[in-house]
Each structure stands twice: as C-alpha cells, then as structure tokens.
Amino acid sequence: MTQREEIEAIINDWNGGLDNGDIEQMVSTCDKNVITVNERQPVTVGTQAIRDKYIPRIEAAEITSGFDIEELQFFGDTAVVCGRFYGTMKMRDTGDIRNPEGRLVLVYKRDENDEWRMILDMDNNGPA
C-alpha cells in the first residue's frame, strides 16, 4: 500500500466510525493529544475532546460523510492533507436534512507502531 493509500484508509476509518456511530473507531485514528481547531469553537486537545464533540452529533443525526484530498505532502513521518469535507446529516428528531461542507487540514504522524495517527484536525464550514 502506498503512503497515499494509507492516509486515505485512515481517513476512511474515521469517516466509517462517524457514519456508523462508532466514536471509539474514530478515536482509534487519533493520537492521544490530537489538536482540534474548528470554526467558531475553542481549540481542544486530546481524544476525550473528540468524544465530547462528536457523541452529541452521532446521537442527533444519521450521518454520511466524504472527503476529497486536494493536496497531500509527506515530511518524513508526518503527512499534511488539505482538501474538503462534505456529507449529510438526517436529524433524528425532525427528519431535516443538513449538508455540512467545508475545507480541512489534517496532519498525521506515524506512532511508535508505525501507524498513522491524526495529530491535527482543522476545518471551517462553507462552500469549498
């Protein structure tokens, strides 16, 4: 598997966890000190912050998600992904459909087991 395929696979693992309501699958793709920088929200650090952010979303909606990598560069054991995210959220209480989309920067670093783990998730909402 190429490095690009490895990065695509770890992003797919994250999205698969999100789409299937499996927060622990999502967290398994992250470094324990992952930094999250999202639009109009404070910076957070750590996997518990991922749980705190995404559990309410998972409980509130049926989610499908996708991504496009526009730029991917490797710097030794670090990978920087720039691109866009998109998806649908069908709200469980109302049935309303939302279509989140926006830009993202993800940074991955190989851990002590030579596995890619997300160390930075930065995004903003709006048309890409």
Measure the N-to-C terminal CA separation of the chain; round to a whole number of Å: 29
Q: How far apart are CA 81 and CA 72, in angstroms?
A: 5
pTM for this entry? 0.93
Q: Kindly report, residue by residue over 48-69, the tens digit of the pLDDT.
A: 999 999 999 999 999 999 999 9
Cβ burial, residue 44 (10 Å; 0-12/13-18/19+): middle
Which structure tokens are listed for 67? 């991504």
Tell me the pLDDT band of 111, cut-offs 50, 70 and 90: very high
Which structure tokens are listed for 45? 């650090």
For the chain, list the domains and their CATH numbers: 3-125 (3.10.450.50)
